[in-house]
Chain A
Amino acid sequence: DAGVIQSPRHEVTEMGQEVTLRCKPISGHDYLFWYRQTMMRGLELLIYFNNNVPIDDSGMPEDRFSAKMPNASFSTLKIQPSEPRDSAVYFCASSFLARTGELFFGEGSRLTVL
């Protein structure tokens, strides 16, 4: 298994543009998490899904952010419109049952908004 796959690995865009980040979780995992990593705030949980259903989106910064999980093998995180303060590394992670607490992380998508 290639693990959690994220794309793109790097994205540079201009303020106001729409950004879509993609994630393919490990097959069979039933939880999917989106985190944002910055120097100032560390790793922040944005939203997580269980069996494709959003469970807690309280970490989503504002209405400009949205996330979907149309099926068990794909999720997207969209920012529209993007702003410079959204620049960060966005991680996707998946877990089986989540009970063990072991999350398997992707390599992250580094977003730079100019």
Chain B
Amino acid sequence: AQRVTQPEKLLSVFKGAPVELKCNYSYSGSPELFWYVQYSRQRLQLLLRHISRESIKGFTADLNKGETSFHLKKPFAQEEDSAMYYCALKGSNYKLTFGKGTLLTVNP
């Protein structure tokens, strides 16, 4: 079975502060991890994937297989980062399992 846990339902930070959204997973095989984001009144969309090792909008995420984690980080949060963030895991069967999401609010 594949499972994704996002322990924080809500996260509030001030503009310019660092932000870390936590994600832990459970999967017996070799997983692919993703972060999706849903801005207000917009569609859910892919933010980044671990295999690309990219930085998107200042966000990065590193897959830590030892800790089975894929935390999303940004050194300096911006107000426009306020959104719902979902961590997702894809197993070998192409099934994408999402965590319950974290609502990030960046205060001015």
Interface residues of A (CB under 8 A from B): 3, 31, 33, 35, 41-45, 48, 50, 55-56, 91, 93, 98-103, 105-108
Q: Is the CB of A99 within 8 A of B94?
A: yes
Which chain B residues numbered 78 to 108 have a C-beta less than 8 Å away from chain A? 86, 88, 90, 93-101
Interface residues of B (CB under 8 A from A): 32, 34, 36, 43-46, 49, 86, 88, 90, 93-101
Q: Is the interface of B mostly helix, strand, loop or mixed?
A: strand
> Given the complex, which residues of A lie within 8 Å of B36, measured CB to CB?
103
Contact pick for A101, options B45, B88, B101, CB 8 Å = B88
Closest to A35 in B: B98
Contact pick for B95, options A56, A100, A102, CB 8 Å = A56
Contacts beyond the supplied A3-B43, A43-B98: 5 A-B pairs with Cβ under 8 Å: A41-B100, A42-B86, A48-B94, A56-B95, A106-B43
Contact pick for B44, options A41, A44, A48, A91, CB 8 Å = A91
**B8: shortest Cβ distance to chain A, in Å?**
13
> Given the complex, which residues of B lie within 8 Å of A102, measured CB to CB?
34, 46, 49
CB<8 Å pairs between A and B, sample of 23: A33-B96, A35-B98, A42-B86, A42-B98, A42-B99, A42-B100, A43-B98, A43-B101, A55-B93, A56-B93, A98-B96, A101-B32, A101-B34, A101-B46, A101-B88, A101-B96, A102-B34, A103-B36, A103-B46, A105-B43, A105-B44, A105-B45, A107-B43
